[in-house]
C-alpha cells in the first residue's frame, strides 16, 4: 500500500481532524524522510523506560527545554510553522556521556563511528545560513544527540544535544514503507 493511499484512507475513514484522533489513540503517521515513513505507536517517555541508542523519539520544538536555536527559529518564522503542532521525529544517535565530533568530509562522529547522512549543510534551501554547534563535545547528562536518516534532516548536527525533557514520546514502528 502506498503512503499516499494510507494517508488518504486515514483521512477518509476518520474524517477531518484525523491526525488529532490518531494522536489521541497514540498513533503517529510519519510522512517525512527523517525516519522510515509509516505508522508508529506513541508511548509516553516515562512509560518507555530508559532511552536507548536507536530509539525513535518525538521532539516537542515548543518545549521550554527544546534547544534555544530551535525555539528562536520557530518564533522568528525561520523554521516551518507546522513544527509547532507536530513533533519532530528523530533517532537517538547518542546518549549522555558519548563523545560527538564532526569531520568535514565524513559528517557527525559518535564515539568513533560516523553517522550516515550526517554531513552538515552551510545553508538551507532558501540560502539562509544553518546553525552549527561547536564540536567536539561530550553529550551532557540528561541530554541525547538526535539524528535523521535523511541527508537534509534537521537534527542535532544543527541544534546540538537535546534535553530529554523536550522529548514527548518514544515511537515504535508498527508498519513502515
- Residue 79 or 18, more confident: 79
Whole-model pTM: value is: 0.84
Domain definitions of the chain by residue range: 3-176
Greater confidence (30 vs 6) lies with 30
In angstroms, the CA 177 to CA 168 distance is 24
- Is the domain covering 3-176 a CATH 2.10.109.10 domain? yes
pLDDT digits (tens, 9 = 90+) for 65-118: 999 999 999 999 888 888 888 889 999 999 999 999 999 999 999 999 999 999
**pLDDT of res. 33:** 83
Quote the pLDDT of residue 174: 92
- What is the SS3 assignment for 75? helix
The pairing of strands 162-163 and 143-147 is antiparallel
Please say if the pLDDT value at position 7 is more than 60.
no
Q: Rounded mean pLDDT of the chain? A: 86
Residues contacting residue 135 through CB under 8 Å, at least 6 positions apart = 100, 101, 102, 108
Using the Cα atoms of residue 56, residue 166, residue 69 and residue 143 in order, give the sign of their dihedral: negative
Cα–Cα separations (whole angstroms), residue 160 to 17, 144, 176 = 34, 9, 28
Q: Which of 8-17, 68-77, 112-121, 165-174 has the lowest mean pLDDT?
A: 8-17
* 119 pLDDT tier (thresholds 50, 70, 90): very high
Tell me the C-alpha distance between 100 and 124, whole Å: 23
Cis peptide bond prior to 136, omega within 30° of 0: yes
pLDDT given at position 24: 65
What are phi and psi for residue 61, nearest 5 degrees?
-65, -20
Range in 17-21, 105-109, 111-115, 127-131 the model is least confident about: 17-21
Question: Which residue has cell 556521556?
Answer: 97
Q: Looking at residues 124-129, what average pLDDT do you find?
A: 87
Amino acid at each position: 500500500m502506498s503512503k499516499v493511499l494510507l494517508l488518504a484512507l486515514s483521512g477518509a475513514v476518520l474524517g477531518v481532524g484525523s491526525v488529532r484522533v490518531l494522536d489521541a489513540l497514540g498513533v503517529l503517521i510519519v510522512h517525512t524522510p527523517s525516519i522510515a515513513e509509516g505508522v508508529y505507536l506513541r508511548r509516553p517517555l516515562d512509560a518507555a523506560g530508559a532511552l536507548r541508542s536507536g530509539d525513535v523519539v518525538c521532539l516537542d520544538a515548543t518545549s521550554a527545554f527544546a534547544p534555544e536555536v530551535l525555539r528562536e527559529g520557530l518564533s522568528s518564522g525561520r523554521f516551518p510553522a507546522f513544527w509547532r503542532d507536530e513533533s519532530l521525529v528523530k533517532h537517538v544517535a547518542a546518549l549522555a556521556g558519548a563523545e560527538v565530533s564532526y569531520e568535514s568530509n565524513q559528517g557527525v562522529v559518535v564515539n568513533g563511528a560516523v553517522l550516515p547522512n550526517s554531513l552538515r549543510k552551510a545553508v538551507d534551501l532558501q540560502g539562509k545560513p544553518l546553525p552549527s554547534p561547536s564540536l567536539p563535545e561530550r553529550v551532557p547528562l540528561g541530554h541525547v544527540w538526535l539524528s535523521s536518516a535523511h541527508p537534509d534532516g534537521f537534527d542535532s548536527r544543527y541544534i546540538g544535544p537535546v534535553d530529554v525533557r523536550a522529548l514527548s514520546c518514544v515511537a515504535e514502528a508498527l508498519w513502515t514503507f
